[in-house]
Structures are given as C-alpha cells and as structure tokens.
Amino acid sequence: MVTLKNTHLTLGNAAAPIKVEVFLNLACPYCASFYELVDGALLQYINENKVELIVKHYDKPREMLLPGTLINLNLDYGNPAKTLDNIKSLFKEQETWDKLSSHGIKEYIKNNYGLKEEEPNIEISLQVTAEAIERRVKMVPTVFINDLEFQYPREIFSEELIQVLDQQLSKEKV
C-alpha cells in the first residue's frame, strides 16, 4: 500500500483497513456527485471503522476548476471536521457559487461560512499537487481504494463503490 500523504482532511478511524483517498476539486460536478456517496454508501463503512476517507483538494490547473481552487485557499485545515462539513455544503450549493467572480466567491464564502484566506493552504495545495503528479492523477475525482485506482471521467455509482469496498474488505478479512 502507498504511504499516506496529505492527510489533513480525514473522516473515520485511522486504523481502518480500507483507505479511500479522493483527489477532488470543489468546482467539479463529478466530484460533487462522488461526495454525495460519503453520506450514502461510505458513511456506514466509516461508522463501522472499516473505512477511513482522506480528502485531498487538488488545485488542478484547469479554468473551470479555478473557483474550487479559490475556495480551497480559504478552507480551515486546522478544523478538519468543520471543513469536511463545509465541503459537503459547498458541493450541494455548487451551482450557486461556481459562476461568481473571484470577488463574489470570496464574499460568498465569507458571508456564508465565515471563511477567510488561510496562508498555510498554499503549502498544502503545493503538497497535494506534488502528490497528484507523483501518482499520475490526471483528473478529478480520482479515487484510490487501498492500492486500486479509479479515475472517473464519469459519475461513480453507489453500487460500484460498495462492490469494490466489499471486495477489499474480504481481502482484509474484516
């Protein structure tokens, strides 16, 4: 298994046998669809200490993802639980903010989430980008389930995710 890096935002038990790492961007609609699975398919596994979710915001240099990059610079990585809740909410509200100007996005997240630019996030972004390059992540979302890699140019569905998790759990004999 790959040594875990950039574990700033995690949900679940670090001792869980299955690690689900997701490289995502808040402006990506496919990432929003994947993140819905966290409350659906993944939450039960997380609550049963079978899965640890590691979220890695990838500030991928692509024009349509720039609003997500701007928001990432304002996330509070010092408070992972609150940040993961904010991410969930921001994905649900994606259509509200993703077409705003840079200034509009800053005002939106300040007024609705109390977020402000966090200087350490630049270094975190660089670390996640370096890891994405090292692991050849070409698109978001890219999901790693233990040593299995899934790059989704499409939406992943709950049934598919559950099938992969159950296969991995049977290998781990949990």
What are 121's two structure tokens?
Answer: 């996030």
H/E segment holding residue 33: helix 29-37
Set out the domains of the chain in order of their start, with CATH numbers. Answer: 9-172 (3.40.30.10)
Give the count of beta carbons closer than 10 Å to the beta carbon of residue 85: 12
Q: How far apart are CA 77 and CA 121, in angstroms?
A: 8
For range 135-146, the mean pLDDT? 93
The pLDDT tens digits of the residues spanning 41-95 come to 899 999 999 999 999 999 999 999 999 999 999 999 999 999 999 999 999 999 9
Q: How far apart are CA 10 and CA 84, in angstroms?
A: 8
Give the count of beta carbons closer than 10 Å to the beta carbon of residue 63: 7
